[in-house]
């Protein structure tokens, strides 16, 4: 279609769909939808109860990963997922569902706090300003959110319940027999009655309050402990492992991170390792994400084996107990508590020089090596490629299967936090042990028969032979032999033998660690915890929640010289004395007493661990969530045995932490009877990223993408040629495009269509502002098919649609329905475009039922123009709750074409086939035809020439 000069076009076509018309329509319908409550999803009860007719429908709960309200606002890359869920939600509304779709804000966090540190402005002020800015940006996109259900995690009404959940977790323990969390009071009752022995063997009555608190601390699902943590003096805070880079520095700020022991809150997520793993099977998540969760949880089946030493034992964890006869030395983590105990005063007679590291005594060698290891992160210590370092402790332990005395080393490739912190080393069959044995001239003994031609003399090998599917050799002792067994049988045999002897047992080990749950920050949820004069932690009663953040003078944690490991954290909250030291009556019968508040705050993840529940019942001040309402939206049902949100869309970067933490909290709340769904998100979908072109000048600096000129495939900025590459969109790369800019130029419906048309939703794609106009033209043609551009009158006719139009319409309906259901929005748009083009080409007034169906088809994608045209077509109720068109199957089946089949150049058969049939398919059909078979009469075929769909020519031999 030729472009007309816009100036003259306006005169000739005053009612054309233009950016100005779009702006007017969009603002008007957005106001209407808000005032009308068009997107309000009724609950079965409570203050959001409404329309029982709607509640009787099947529900769909469609959710986005909520945004952090950044001061920079949104660029066009951010709303990709929000538009997608909106299209899907609108489609579900039109196919008979009561749809819950809303969006809140994940608003605690570091950027606002850092801004506060720099400017003294309260983080709440900047955060709320950012929220308001984002809300207006999002409103302009026409997202059909139930705004009554929106909230921010910083709202005291919200974090009251985050704190309340913390209290529930604190006051529960994991009952390994029942495999579920239970109230800690039940455990106390069992200790009191003697039904369960108190660890340490004393009676519960005989313990002091502090001793009892210590015992319970070993069971609580939220507990404080002196834990080795990642202390970052440069940031003044402790970091989770995931926040530390592979080279042992802070992900944010790039400061050194040290191992230190600090009293910290932890969540016992490890108690749920098995359930977190097993329940993944029932979830409709991308396999890649499930795999990442499985790896993170890291379940290993193996054995614990005791190696006797000086009348005691060092216990190792191994997944290869079948290789016990090949263990020629042991390694303890440098921090292992038994190291001192077995380290002799002097090097034993004949100690190898390379084993001592040049130190005069074992104690000296150990101390020096420990200092060196402490400065490295776990990841660095485990790096495969690195040279293996370590030192002999001077001690020998006994290999229990053959009585051999084997030397005990410390080395940093063994981590204290995994297994037992001690290993038996089998250098012939483990790559790390092999490298270590070579470096320290230790014996290497083959016990798994190599499948290649290297032979069984391991002293001649270049690397370890690693196999789980081979025969065990060289493995017989006085009363046990594994020779000739496969790996699996050997594992079973030796485990049984160890168990019989009482020196080992089969065991399962997890890579997952407990979740470090405190931060030395201001802008987070305060802990609902106070300490009494004995230092015992008590949770606050519900009546004291929310515990609001106090005002403070200074928002910064105290930071230190980044390289000074001998420092410890000081929290911003601890500086408000009036808030910290309080007299309270906790309602526990002890009356008013002085307490000191916990001054750490919760980590960023806390607020996003349960927000899917708050959307359900957002104003409930009595309960976390009303059970009936939770059951309605989240409860288990056919195909969703663990319940959960029907569709959760967000970036793949949240594959592990957020999703794992949220799953954990759901399980605890489920165990304690507060909710009916043990999983928060039934179906998960990761949208791709919108990328953008970055233009760099000759010095490599990005120049503003908006100022680039393109000539013959080259790019210029102010006359200078620049280089183009693909990168992230954002301010720093000077290529951010705001949704407002696109809305202004074309309207929100065009922006929505463009983002959805760019490609499959889960694939990343480059933004191209110049291509947006394509979708604008689609909407202009759509408009023109319904509205006369000169008069503004509706042009549809009451004449019956012809057969080809009916076919085009019903094929579109059928395809668009399937595409929207399958989140294939790009192909849905292609089908709508095809139909629209068909109508444009037909050139005549569009029959009313066809026009109406077309408007309904595009309504989920471009809701404003659809609402406008729907009303223009004479309807008085909103397009939002109309039924989505259903295809008439008579018009969907393909018309057929006649295919001529020749044998030796003579026509032998005519077949009715689909015009879309492939050459292969057509050949098969032709060869199977009775008349063709008869004509061939068993002759061999030399050649078949196929020209689908019309001709097949068979040449017999």
CB 108 within 8 A of CB 604: yes
Say whether the peptide bond before residue 546 is cis (omega within 30 degrees of 0).
yes
Residue 258: strand pairing partners: 231
CB 800 within 8 A of CB 847: yes
Query: What is the smallest separation between the CB atom of 393 and ligand ANZ, expressed in angstroms?
Result: 16
Which residues, including other chains, have CB under 8 Å from residue 752's CB and lie 6 or more apart? 83, 86, 87, 141, 142, 861, 862
With tokens 């932490």, the residue in question is 657
Q: H-helix or E-strand containing 448?
A: none
Query: Contact between 465 and ligand ANZ (CB under 6 A)?
Result: no
Q: Count Cβ atoms below 10 Å from residue 111 Cβ, excluding itself.
A: 18
Q: Which of 319, 467, 481, 827 binds ligand ANZ (CB under 6 A)?
A: 319
Rounded Cα gap, residues 909 and 913, in angstroms: 12
Phi/psi zone of residue 298: left (φ > 0), alpha (ψ -120 to 50 degrees), beta?
left
Rounded Cα gap, residues 491 and 494, in angstroms: 5
Residue 232: strand pairing partners: 237
Phi, psi of 89 (to 5 degrees): -60, -45
Query: Contact between 397 and ligand ANZ (CB under 6 A)?
Result: no
Q: Show the CA angle centred on residue 82, arms to residues 80 and 86, nearest 5°.
A: 120
- Radius of gyration, CA atoms only, the chain: 35
Which residue lies nearer to ligand ANZ by CB, 491 or 831? 491
Which residue lies nearer to ligand ANZ by CB, 424 or 537? 424
Which residue lies nearer to ligand ANZ by CB, 329 or 523? 329
Long-range Cβ contact pairs of 108-112 (< 8 A, separation 24 or more): 108/153, 108/154, 108/523, 108/524, 108/525, 108/604, 108/606, 108/607, 109/68, 109/523, 109/604, 110/252, 110/521, 110/523, 110/604, 111/68, 111/70, 111/71, 112/71, 112/523
Query: What is the smallest separation between the CB atom of 320 and ligand ANZ, expressed in angstroms?
Result: 3
Please state, in angstroms and as integers, the Cα–Cα distance from residue 200 to each residue in 204, 213, 609, following that order. 10, 14, 36
Query: Contact between 509 and ligand ANZ (CB under 6 A)?
Result: yes
Query: What is the smallest separation between the CB atom of 433 and ligand ANZ, expressed in angstroms?
Result: 7
Which residue lies nearer to ligand ANZ by CB, 426 or 829? 426
Distance separating the N- and C-terminal Cα atoms of the chain: 54
Query: Contact between 450 and ligand ANZ (CB under 6 A)?
Result: no
Query: What is the smallest separation between the CB atom of 766 and ligand ANZ, expressed in angstroms?
Result: 39
Which residue lies nearer to ligand ANZ by CB, 355 or 418? 418
Query: Contact between 418 and ligand ANZ (CB under 6 A)?
Result: yes
Query: Contact between 320 and ligand ANZ (CB under 6 A)?
Result: yes
Which residue lies nearer to ligand ANZ by CB, 114 or 382? 382
Which residue lies nearer to ligand ANZ by CB, 489 or 570? 489
Q: 3-class SS at 62? A: strand
Q: 3-class SS at 420? A: coil
Query: What is the smallest separation between the CB atom of 447 and ligand ANZ, expressed in angstroms?
Result: 9
Query: Contact between 306 and ligand ANZ (CB under 6 A)?
Result: no
Query: What is the smallest separation between the CB atom of 97 and ligand ANZ, expressed in angstroms?
Result: 45
Per-residue x/- marks for ligand ANZ, 248-267, CB under 6 A? --------------------
Rounded Cα gap, residues 170 and 159, in angstroms: 16
Which residue lies nearer to ligand ANZ by CB, 295 or 405? 295
Q: Which of 55, 280, 415, 565 binds ligand ANZ (CB under 6 A)?
A: 415
Q: Kindly state the number of chain residues that form the binding site for ligand ANZ, as judged by CB under 6 A.
A: 18
- Choose among 529, 550, 548, 531: nearest CA to 540: 529
CB 545 within 8 A of CB 160: yes
Q: Which of 240, 373, 414, 435 binds ligand ANZ (CB under 6 A)?
A: 414
Query: What is the smallest separation between the CB atom of 690 and ligand ANZ, expressed in angstroms?
Result: 38
Which residue lies nearer to ligand ANZ by CB, 447 or 820? 447
Which residue lies nearer to ligand ANZ by CB, 171 or 474? 474
Query: What is the smallest separation between the CB atom of 430 and ligand ANZ, expressed in angstroms?
Result: 4
- From 416-424, 600-608, 792-800, 904-912, give the range in contact with ligand ANZ by CB under 6 A: 416-424
Which residue lies nearer to ligand ANZ by CB, 104 or 407? 407
- From 311-319, 596-604, 764-772, 890-898, give the range in contact with ligand ANZ by CB under 6 A: 311-319
- Choose among 727, 642, 640: nearest CA to 679: 642
Q: Which of 323, 574, 601, 805 binds ligand ANZ (CB under 6 A)?
A: 323
Which residue lies nearer to ligand ANZ by CB, 336 or 824? 336
Q: Which of 224, 260, 423, 613 binds ligand ANZ (CB under 6 A)?
A: 423
Query: What is the smallest separation between the CB atom of 275 and ligand ANZ, expressed in angstroms?
Result: 20
Rounded Cα gap, residues 642 and 245, in angstroms: 35
- From 254-262, 316-324, 559-567, 907-915, give the range in contact with ligand ANZ by CB under 6 A: 316-324
Query: What is the smallest separation between the CB atom of 478 and ligand ANZ, expressed in angstroms?
Result: 22
Phi, psi of 169 (to 5 degrees): -70, -40
Which residues between 922 and 951 bind ligand ANZ (CB under 6 A)? none
Query: Contact between 317 and ligand ANZ (CB under 6 A)?
Result: yes
Which residues between 325 and 364 bind ligand ANZ (CB under 6 A)? 333
Which residue lies nearer to ligand ANZ by CB, 97 or 429? 429
Q: Which of 114, 150, 245, 300 binds ligand ANZ (CB under 6 A)?
A: 300
Which residue lies nearer to ligand ANZ by CB, 335 or 626? 335
- Choose among 468, 469, 431, 464: nearest CA to 445: 464
Query: Contact between 470 and ligand ANZ (CB under 6 A)?
Result: no
CB 832 within 8 A of CB 812: yes
Query: What is the smallest separation between the CB atom of 356 and ligand ANZ, expressed in angstroms?
Result: 23
Which residue lies nearer to ligand ANZ by CB, 18 or 509? 509
Q: Which of 230, 250, 293, 318 binds ligand ANZ (CB under 6 A)?
A: 318
Query: Contact between 421 and ligand ANZ (CB under 6 A)?
Result: yes
Which residue lies nearer to ligand ANZ by CB, 436 or 632? 436
Query: What is the smallest separation between the CB atom of 311 and ligand ANZ, expressed in angstroms?
Result: 24
Assigned token pair, 454 = 């290297």
Rounded Cα gap, residues 841 and 525, in angstroms: 61
Please state, in angstroms and as integers, the Cα–Cα distance from residue 821 to each residue in 57, 752, 884, following that order. 18, 18, 12
Query: What is the smallest separation between the CB atom of 484 and ligand ANZ, expressed in angstroms?
Result: 18
Which residue lies nearer to ligand ANZ by CB, 411 or 743? 411
Long-range Cβ contact pairs of 128-132 (< 8 A, separation 24 or more): 128/152, 129/71, 130/69, 130/70, 130/71, 130/73, 131/69, 131/105, 131/107
Q: Is the alpha carbon torsion for 630, 634, 637, 641 positive or negative?
A: negative
- From 119-127, 314-322, 357-365, 695-703, give the range in contact with ligand ANZ by CB under 6 A: 314-322
Query: What is the smallest separation between the CB atom of 471 and ligand ANZ, expressed in angstroms?
Result: 14
Q: Is the alpha carbon torsion for 420, 421, 427, 428 positive or negative?
A: positive
Binding site for ligand ANZ (CB under 6 A): 300, 317-320, 323, 333, 414-415, 418-419, 421, 423-424, 426, 429-430, 509
């Amino acid at each position: 279609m030729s472009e007309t000069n816009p100036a003259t076009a306006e005169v000739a076509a005053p009612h054309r769909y233009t950016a100005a018309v779009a702006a007017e329509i969009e603002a008007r319908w957005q106001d209407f939808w808000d005032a009308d409550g068009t997107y309000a999803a009724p609950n079965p009860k409570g203050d959001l109860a409404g329309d029982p007719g709607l509640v009787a429908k099947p529900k769909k709960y469609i959710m986005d990963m909520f945004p952090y309200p950044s001061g920079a606002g949104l660029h066009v890359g951010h709303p990709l997922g929000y538009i997608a869920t909106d299209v899907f939600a609108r489609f579900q509304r039109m196919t008979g569902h009561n749809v819950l779709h809303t969006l809140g804000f994940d608003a605690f966090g570091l950027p606002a706090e850092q801004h506060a540190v720099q400017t003294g402005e309260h983080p709440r002020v900047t955060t709320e300003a950012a929220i308001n800015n984002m809300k207006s940006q999002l409103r302009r996109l026409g997202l059909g959110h139930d705004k009554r259900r929106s909230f921010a995690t910083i709202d005291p009404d919200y974090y009251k319940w985050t704190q309340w959940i913390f209290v529930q977790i604190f006051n529960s323990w994991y009952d390994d027999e029942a495999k579920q969390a239970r109230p800690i009071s039940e455990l106390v009752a069992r200790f009191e009655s003697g039904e369960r022995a108190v660890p340490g063997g004393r009676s519960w009555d005989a313990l002091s309050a502090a001793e009892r608190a210590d015992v319970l601390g070993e069971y609580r699902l939220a507990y404080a402990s002196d834990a080795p943590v990642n202390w970052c003096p440069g940031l003044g805070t402790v970091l989770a492992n995931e926040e530390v880079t592979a080279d042992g520095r802070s992900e944010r700020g790039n400061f050194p991170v040290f191992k230190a022991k600090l009293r910290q809150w932890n969540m016992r997520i490890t108690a749920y390792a098995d359930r977190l793993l097993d329940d993944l099977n029932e979830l409709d998540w991308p396999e890649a994400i499930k795999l990442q969760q499985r790896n993170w949880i890291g379940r290993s089946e193996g054995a614990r084996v005791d190696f006797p030493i000086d009348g005691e034992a060092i216990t190792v964890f191994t997944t290869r107990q079948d290789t016990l006869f090949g263990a020629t030395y042991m390694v303890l983590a440098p921090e292992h508590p038994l190291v001192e105990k077995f380290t002799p005063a002097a090097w034993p007679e004949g100690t190898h020089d390379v084993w001592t590291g040049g130190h005069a005594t074992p104690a000296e060698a150990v101390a020096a090596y420990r200092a060196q290891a402490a400065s490295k992160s776990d990841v660095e210590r485990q790096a495969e490629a690195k040279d293996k370092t370590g030192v002999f402790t001077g001690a020998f332990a006994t290999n229990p299967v053959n009585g051999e005395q084997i030397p005990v080393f410390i080395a940093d490739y063994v981590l204290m936090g995994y297994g037992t912190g001690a290993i038996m080393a089998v250098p012939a069959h483990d790559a790390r042990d092999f490298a270590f044995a070579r470096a320290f001239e230790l014996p290497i003994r083959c016990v798994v028969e190599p499948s290649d031609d290297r032979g069984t003399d391991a002293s001649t090998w270049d690397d370890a032979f690693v196999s789980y599917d081979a025969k065990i050799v060289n493995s017989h002792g006085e009363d046990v032999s594994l020779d000739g067994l496969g790996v699996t049988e050997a594992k079973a045999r030796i485990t049984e033998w160890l168990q019989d002897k009482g020196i080992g047992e089969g065991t399962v080990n997890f890579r997952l660690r407990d979740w470090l749950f405190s931060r030395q920050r201001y802008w987070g949820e305060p802990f609902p915890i106070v300490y009494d004069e004995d230092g015992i932690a008590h949770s606050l009663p519900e009546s004291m929640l929310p515990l609001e953040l106090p005002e403070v003078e200074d928002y910064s944690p105290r930071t230190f010289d980044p390289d000074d490991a001998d420092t410890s954290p000081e929290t911003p909250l601890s500086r408000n004395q009036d808030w910290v030291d309080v007299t309270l009556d906790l309602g526990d019968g002890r009356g008013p007493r002085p307490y000191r508040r916990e001054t750490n705050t919760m980590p960023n993840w806390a607020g996003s661990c349960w927000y899917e529940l708050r959307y359900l019942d957002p104003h409930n001040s009595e309960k976390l969530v009303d059970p009936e309402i939770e059951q309605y939206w989240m409860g288990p049902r056919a195909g969703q045995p663990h319940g959960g949100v029907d569709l959760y869309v967000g970036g793949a970067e949240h594959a592990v932490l957020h999703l794992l933490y949220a799953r954990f909290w759901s399980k605890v709340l489920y165990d304690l009877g507060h909710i009916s769904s043990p999983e928060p998100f039934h179906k998960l979908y990761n949208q791709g990223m919108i990328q953008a072109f970055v233009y760099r000048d000759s010095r490599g600096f990005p120049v503003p993408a908006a100022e680039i000129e393109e000539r013959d495939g080259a790019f210029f900025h102010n006359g200078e040629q620049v280089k183009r590459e693909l990168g992230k969109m954002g301010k720093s790369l000077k290529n951010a495009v705001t949704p407002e800019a696109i809305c202004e130029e074309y309207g929100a419906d065009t922006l929505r269509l463009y983002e959805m048309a760019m490609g499959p939703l889960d694939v990343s794609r480059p933004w191209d502002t110049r291509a947006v106009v394509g979708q604008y033209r689609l909407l202009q043609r759509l408009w023109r098919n319904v509205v006369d551009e000169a008069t503004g009158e509706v042009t549809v006719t009451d004449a019956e649609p012809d057969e080809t139009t009916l076919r085009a319409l019903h094929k579109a309906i059928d395809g668009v329905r399937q595409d929207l259901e399958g989140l294939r929005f790009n192909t849905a748009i292609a089908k709508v475009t095809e139909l629209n083009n068909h109508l444009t080409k037909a050139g005549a007034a569009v029959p009313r039922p066809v026009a109406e169906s077309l408007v309904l088809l595009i309504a989920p994608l471009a809701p404003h123009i659809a609402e406008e045209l729907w009303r223009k077509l004479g309807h008085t109720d909103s397009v939002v709750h109309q039924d989505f068109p259903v295809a008439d199957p008579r018009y969907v089946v393909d018309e057929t074409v006649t295919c001529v089949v020749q044998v030796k150049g003579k026509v032998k058969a005519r077949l009715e086939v689909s015009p879309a049939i492939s050459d292969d398919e057509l050949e098969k059909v032709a060869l199977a035809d009775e008349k063709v078979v008869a004509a061939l009469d068993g002759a061999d075929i030399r050649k078949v020439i196929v020209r689908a769909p019309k001709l097949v020519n068979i040449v017999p031999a």
